[in-house]
Structures are given as structure tokens and as C-alpha cells.
Amino acid sequence: MSGAFYRIDKFAVPAAAREEFLVNVMMTHKVLGAQDGFIDHTVLEQVGGPGEFNFVTIAQWESADVVERVRAAVAVAHKAANFDPQEMFARLGIRADIASYKPVAA
């Protein structure tokens, strides 16, 4: 798939898990930022409204073609840091909605 590509992840993070969650998100985004095809990333924290998810991360890529290579690089970095996201989610009660998106043609 060519053209701009986005990975948008939404998280419901309990208050007690906030700091550990953010440390690991920032570590992961540092790895993302070093990858070829990376354009930008944003981490958002909810400050109002009834939404279920209080954190959203957005990573923008040149195309979907880089996804598998980036996924592998992130896995290597997580292993080197002895970090298992699924274990952290289960231990801290974090729920996630993770998906990939492409722009809608006008």
C-alpha cells in the first residue's frame, strides 16, 4: 500500500500505571523515530470529555510498506530492554485499541 499511512493506538490507562506506561511509550517512539520511512509521531493524553481511552499515540509513515520492518525493529528493541508490552498491559490493567489507518481520498 503506497501513500501516507498511520498507526493509531488508543489506551485506557489506570492513573497508577500512567508513569510506567509513558516511559515505555516514549522508549518505543524513540525506536520508531529512528526508522526509515518515519514521518512523525504524537502522544496525546485526554484532558476532558467522556471518552474511554485516556491516551492516544499516532505514528505517521511514508507508506504501509515499512510496517513489517519497523515491527521487527521494535521487537528487537523491546527484547533488548527486557520489555514485554502484553505483560505490562496485563499487570497494570491497561486496555488497548490498536489499528492502522490511511487517509480518505477527497
The domain spans of the chain are 5-55+63-98
- Give whole-number Cα distances, 54 to 36, 50, 68, in Å: 29, 10, 27
**pLDDT on residue 4:** 85
Taking only the tens place, the pLDDT of each residue in 56-100 is: 999 999 988 888 889 999 999 999 999 999 999 999 999 999 999
CA distance 13 to 24: 13
**pLDDT on residue 3:** 79
pTM of the full predicted structure?
0.90
**pLDDT on residue 24:** 96
Count Cβ atoms below 10 Å from residue 32 Cβ, excluding itself.
Answer: 20
Domain 5-55+63-98 in CATH 3.30.70.100: yes
